[in-house]
Amino acid sequence: MITTALTELLRIRVPVVQGGMQWVGKPPLVAAVSNAGGLGIITALTQPNPDALRVAIRETRAVTDKPFGVNITLLPSINPPDYEGYARAAVEEGVRIFETAGNSPGKLIKYFKSEGCIVIHKCTTIRHAKSAERMGVDVLSIDGFECAGHPGEEDIGGIVLLARAAQELKIPYIASGGFADGRGLASAIALGAAGVNMGTRFMCTVESPIHQNIKEKIVASTEQDTIHIFRTLNNTARVFKNAVSKQVVALERRPGGAQFSELRDLVSGARGKVVYDSGDPDYGIWSAGIALGLIKDIPTCEVLLRTIEREAEEIIMGMGRQVKLQAKL
């Protein structure tokens, strides 16, 4: 068993957190991850309103007695969701672990801490991580350039970003972006992390609530099958490389670029949801990280986390034997 600050704080067996993925972080997956020893995360904004989130929390609790959390991501929007309503609903339903992400999370973090909750905050830069640390979060999720979704605008890969976190941060942090197996977990721990956050890998499990065609597409893909959109809008997002995402990039690369209004219909969340529901990988934009290249099967969450745990233990113990051997020489 691998014991870290994360496993002790969250009372989980395996230091692996399921990413809070839109349209994916639903009760069946969340409960399966938690039952397997990791931390499952319900994605609040996948639910249409706070009352629906209450139902999702109750559905999850009905099939697991293990810890799980709720993700609330603050998105730039003309008509923002009822973030406070989602937060209040989750707290009132007894959730005590939250993952926050996005801009200006201070108000939410203050509320969660006033309610005695544990907060994991996602950051793509060390300066933002230190700011969240000052706000009182308990754990930081450090997202490298390899991650799905929004990797920030500084293009710093995980190896350097995690090593910088070890130099600068005083609280535990977990690694996010490019992690899918035991070797990744062992490497994250070597870089000072207390665990890893995995999104793309959990999409490709038996319990993941997306179409089987998309899971098989993930297995058939490589690390070269993602693309960045919104680079010219300073809101970079790594997504699966398909007909729609390539069209978006082509529009952005035109002389004079593209306005978001020209891209809105192509990148709508509704089209992305149809991808997961219908199994057509080319219908809309859907998130995927370069961990695609490491995914070769569609296991249950239990098998996946047991395998990751065993592989990481073997690698860590093997590294220890190498140190002893060198000392004798």
Per-residue pLDDT reduced to its tens digit, 132-143:
999 999 999 999
**Statement to judge: residues 264 and 155 lie in one domain:** no
Task: Name the average pLDDT for the chain.
Answer: 96
pTM of the model: 0.95
CB 138 within 8 A of CB 116: no
Q: Containing domain of residue 146, as a range?
A: 5-211+296-328
**Statement to judge: residues 55 and 191 lie in one domain:** yes
Q: Grade residue 195 by pLDDT with cuts at 50, 70 and 90.
A: very high
Give how many domains the chain has, as a whole number. Answer: 2
The pLDDT score that the predictor gives to residue 190 is 97
First and final C-alpha spacing in the chain:
30
Q: Say if residue 329's pLDDT is above 60.
A: no
| In a domain? residue 140 | yes
Question: Which residues, 6+ apart, have CB-to-CB distance to 207 below 8 Å?
Answer: 28, 29, 31, 32, 33, 300, 301
**Statement to judge: residues 122 and 256 lie in one domain:** no
| In a domain? residue 146 | yes
| In a domain? residue 221 | no
Rounded distance between C-alpha atoms, residue 72 and residue 272, angstroms: 19
The two tokens of residue 167 are 């130099």
| In a domain? residue 111 | yes
| In a domain? residue 173 | yes
The pLDDT score that the predictor gives to residue 328 is 56
**Statement to judge: residues 56 and 117 lie in one domain:** yes
**Statement to judge: residues 61 and 157 lie in one domain:** yes
Report pLDDT digits (tens) over 99-154: 999 988 999 999 999 999 999 999 999 999 999 999 999 999 999 999 999 999 99
Check which CATH number belongs to the domain holding 317 and give it.
3.20.20.70
**Statement to judge: residues 236 and 192 lie in one domain:** no
**Statement to judge: residues 50 and 130 lie in one domain:** yes
CB 68 within 8 A of CB 41: yes
Task: Provide the H-helix boundaries in the chain.
Answer: 5-10, 27-35, 50-63, 83-92, 106-114, 126-135, 158-168, 182-190, 200-203, 212-220, 243-252, 260-263, 269-278, 301-328
Report pLDDT digits (tens) over 59-109: 999 999 999 999 999 987 778 999 999 999 999 999 999 999 998 899 999
| In a domain? residue 220 | no
**Statement to judge: residues 270 and 304 lie in one domain:** no
The DSSP bridge partners found for residue 255 are none
